Structure 1
Amino acid sequence: MTSADPVPRPEGRVEIPPHPRWPVLNPAAKTALTERIKALLHAQDAVLVAHYYTDGDLQALAEDTGGCVADSLEMARFGAASRARTLVVCGVRFMGETAKILNPEKRVLMPDLRATCSLDEGCPADAFGAFCDAHPDHRVVVYANTSAEVKARADWVVTSSIALAVVAHLKAQGEKILWAPDRHLGHYVERMTGAQMLIWDGACVVHEEFKAFALERVRKLHPTAAVLVHPEAPDDVVDQADVVGSTTQLIKAVAELPNPEFIVATDTGIFWKMQQVAPGKRLIPAPTIGVGATCESCAHCPWMAMNALQNLEAVLRRGDQEIQVDPAVAARAMIPIRRMLDFAQARGLGSRRETD
């Protein structure tokens, strides 16, 4: 069973920024900068939470200072469990918003509030609200990679590891389902569950660029490699995977599978953690090369790249990049988020860290 064609998104393209060109720090300068950041974190009773797709220096610093390196939902959960009064979120804006929704009493800072996400940008709240209004008989399921305003219109918020279970649950109840924003993840969920959904026409600018024909070539060059794919990738890339899963699930696969090599179709920022858990294994970026390509694999989010040691220090000194979420919006967004968390807990679905 398949859906109809994806729902057309509003006019206009997501503006993709160039990757920032941060100055290369020599070892002494990096050490000095890191020590200053550690002192600032301590002085401000702050804890650092970093996504798997951010720079390895930030991930290392988060772990070294008692912070958290994880997917977006675990970042927010960690913040809720922490006694720190300030959360510094190294990631993209929807992650900061989710952290604020789950931790309304805490100050939430980000190195750069302009760090957004193509899935979030491609699903504006007004247009999405109108789409929901046009289909009032559908249950609204939105991916975590959305704004607080979009989450506030949802019945369910899901991450990539729990999406299958939630949609299967709704299908068993005979519910009609409206899905947003990632069409590739939506199609994957449809195929795996047999559900039929109205799917918003959104995509991740990183995962959408993986090329199936080029992946076939790389697989022939590395016949012992396992192929790991995030379900935000196109169907013909997912079809070649040995493991399809969330960021945490892909990291777990590298650690547990016996293969000496892995071809990885997700943001290359994840390689830092993969190399940490499996230092003896070779990681190969899945190719994004195509007509007009300037690199073999360009799989790194330009918004994630806005996070760096330099602006992390700056925001701790100034405190001016603070996430704010309207309390009324946050209260409505908390309902579908809490529904997902309660659903996972009641069914014992995975660990706290196997989310998106």
Structure 2
Amino acid sequence: MSRVVTLAHYYTQPEIQQMADKVGDSLELSLFARDAQADIIVFAGVRFMAETAKILNPQATVVLPDRGSTCSLVTQTDVAALQRWREQHADHVHVSYINSSAEHKALSDWIVTSRNVDDIIAHLYAEGKKVIFSPDRNMGAYLNFQHGYDMPLWSAVCEVHDKFNQQALDEAFAAVPGARYLIAHPESPLPVLQLADYVGSTSGMLNWVRNYAYEPDAVIFVATEDGILYNMRLARPDLRIEQAPIYAGCQCNQCPYMKMNTIEAVKRAQQGQGEVIDYLSPAQMDAARLPIERMLAFSERYYR
């Protein structure tokens, strides 16, 4: 009988997370997928995550519940143009965010997640390297601002995080009579990140909420996809946690691709039906695996 392992990202619906063997952020799920003793890996997330699982565990059959679940950072990146851009900066190390296609990863020297991007790029600069960063323009702009880097940046954005804006946040803050905090994902625009009390990955934000010990009646605004609010409220039901607004006070920001992971689609995928990640050639997987393994080796060493 086939052993099926189901992985779910924090941005999926609570019902999907409850069906999973492992729930986590991109780094956690990559490590779990690599080491999973599974015949079938069902990845309730988006396509680049399922591709990463296949690259790291090529013997497993990896199934994406809905073939349409992509990512704007992927769709906004033309790989041929990316290759030309990289060639224009041949003396730079190409660091790519994990939210990228397998073809994109194969053109990279390092892959990073939102949890380890600061440490890996700091490590490269400490070695005297020059860095170009793709595909997320907002994340790269924040790193350049925060650390004084001068990294050339690719110009793609997460369509969910890019909707958060300073004006809506200013209005939301003004409506709170007491204490308020903002925690934000680094895919958000720089003016939003400059307002934040904490900037970090989905796991980092979740841990910030778990460890919160400030004013008990404060409002905590969260600038990321709304799926993580389920985990935050489960961890700290005593806190008032709200998604940051995007316009006119609207707290309605969801990733349409993550929400394609319906209960029915995941159940079908657990039966082997869905989008099987079988289109990557061995050469593509080998080329993409190298920068991912650099990241994983660094992370296992650094975060031990």
State the TM-score, normalizing by the size of structure 1: 0.80
Query: Does the alignment pair 1:314 with 2:268?
Result: yes
Query: Does the alignment pair 1:156 with 2:110?
Result: yes
- 1:236 paired residue number: 191
Mapped contact 1:168–1:195 kept (Cα < 8 A): no
| SS of corresponding position for 2:52 | helix
Query: Does the alignment pair 1:286 with 2:244?
Result: yes
> Judging changes above 3 Å, is the alpha-carbon distance between structure 1 residues 285 and 135 closer, same or farther for their aligned structure 2 residues?
same
Query: Does the alignment pair 1:185 with 2:143?
Result: no
Gaps of 5+ in 1: 1-42, 352-356
Query: Does the alignment pair 1:59 with 2:13?
Result: no
State the distance in 2 between where 1:318 and 1:332 align: 27
- Residue among 142, 148, 152 paired with 1:198: 152
Query: Does the alignment pair 1:329 with 2:284?
Result: yes
Counterpart residue identity of residue 108, structure 1 = V
- Residue among 32, 35, 38 paired with 1:78: 32
- Residue among 53, 59, 71 paired with 1:99: 53
Give the drift of 1:115: 0.5
Residue correspondences, number: 299
State the distance in 1 between where 2:123 and 2:243 align: 35
Mapped contact 1:73–1:98 kept (Cα < 8 A): no
Give the drift of 1:100: 0.6
Give the drift of 1:320: 4.1
State the distance in 2 between where 1:282 and 1:44 align: 43
- 1:147 paired residue number: 101
- Residue among 221, 224, 232 paired with 1:263: 221
| SS of corresponding position for 1:297 | coil
- 1:11 paired residue number: none
Give the drift of 1:299: 1.3
- 2:125 paired residue number: 171
RMSD: 1.6
Mapped contact 1:228–1:244 kept (Cα < 8 A): yes
Query: Does the alignment pair 1:296 with 2:254?
Result: no
Give the drift of 1:318: 5.2
Counterpart residue identity of residue 56, structure 1 = P
State the distance in 1 between where 2:113 and 2:10 align: 15
State the distance in 2 between where 1:207 and 1:277 align: 23
Query: Does the alignment pair 1:127 with 2:85?
Result: no
Gaps of 5+ in 2: none
State the distance in 2 between where 1:215 and 1:188 align: 18
- 1:246 paired residue number: 201
> Judging changes above 3 Å, is the alpha-carbon distance between structure 1 residues 118 and 142 closer, same or farther for their aligned structure 2 residues?
same
| SS of corresponding position for 2:275 | coil
Give the drift of 1:340: 1.3
| SS of corresponding position for 1:69 | strand
